[in-house]
Amino acid sequence: MQKLKLNVNWFFAASATASYMLGVMIASWSGRAVNFLTLAAGLIIFYALTLLQELQRFLTSNRVNPFTRVRSGGQNQSSSALTLIVAAFFVIFAGLYLLLQAQVLIGTNLLLLIFLGLIVFLSLGRFSRLWFNAMSWFFEGLVVSPIMFLLGSAIQEYQFSYLLFLLCLPIFFLYGASAITLLFSEYDQNSSSRKNGFIASVGWEKALKFHHGLTLLTYLGLLIYLASSNTWSRNWPTLLLSLISGAEVFFLQQMAGGMRPNWQLLRALAIVQFFSLIYLLAYPLIIK
């Protein structure tokens, strides 16, 4: 099988995984025993759907018809992609079977998995793909939180509450802000990304406003969650991340003013701020 070069968004995949595990930790903190089989099933379904998404992008960007009898380097890669597609569907059905056997493929879990599948397959359609690419941070953010975050807790049979909803909002907002920062870096350094995508669709000035607005909503959401959940004593350090977010806003504003941005620093700030939020929310649950 020839090796495929897939353009996997590792930040998205890792963020969704971290959000999912935070949901599992919340369920465990409530006193429920973690079912590692259902935990693994939820993850492999997500990874398989993500693989299908990337494989479809590869096949649609490949000019070689995967069903032709002509053998070439591109054809070999397309055959490898088709093999992986079959394997991904097998993994999805295996994961669903495990959830069905554990009797958790019902109610909220089923709805969340349906929404996850709909968002992934929205990116596969000929016309919907353009819409998806233009708002990639939004759809990816929906997968990261609330879908994967709530799935992590619900798959462990944790009862949904309004506090979970309040917590999933700042996670969504901060992912969106971080993703937009990474899109700015890609837009500046990759000429192909300038033809389509979020920044090309709305313009960099409006994209900056989206970023700043999402950053502000993140910390407003955290304040509302801390006040409503009475968890100020253990979760107040999350507000200190506003220093990192403020630095990110500052450097992006310098870019808007004409200064050459340090993209390596901006990418690091975007990644660190998101995973630091997940860590600071999870740490008190681990040391309970």
Q: Are 184 and 56 in contact (CB under 8 A)?
A: no
Rounded Cα distance between 258 and 261, Å, is: 9
Q: What is the pLDDT of residues 186-224, one digit of tens each?
A: 887 765 555 678 998 899 899 999 999 999 999 999 999
pLDDT band at 133 (very low <50, low <70, confident <90, very high): confident
DSSP string, 194-253: GSSSHHHHH-HHHHHHHHHHHHHHHHHHHHHHHHHHT-HHHHGGGGGGHHHHHHHHHHHH
Block residue for tokens 């009475």:
230
DSSP code of 135?
T
| Packing angle of the helix pair 10-29, 36-61 (nearest 10 deg) | 160
Quote the CA–CA distance of 29 and 26 in Å, as a whole number: 5
Question: What is residue 1's predicted lDDT score, i.e. its pLDDT?
Answer: 47
**Structure confidence at residue 247 (pLDDT):** 97
Q: What is the pLDDT of residues 79-132, one digit of tens each?
A: 888 889 999 999 999 999 999 999 999 889 999 999 999 998 888 777 777 788
Q: State residue 70's pLDDT score.
A: 47
pTM: 0.92
What is the 8-class DSSP label of residue 228?
H
Task: Spell out the residues 6+ positions from residue 102 whose beta carbon is closer than 8 angstroms to its own.
Answer: 35, 37, 38, 41
How many Å apart are CA 77 and CA 66, to the nearest integer? 9
Contact of 170 with 219, CB cutoff 8 Å: yes
pLDDT at residue 224 in the model: 97
> pLDDT exceeding 70 applies to what percent of the chain?
91
Query: Could you tell me which residues come within 8 angstroms of residue 18 by beta carbon, excluding any fewer than 6 positions away?
Result: 275, 278
CB 120 within 8 A of CB 148: no
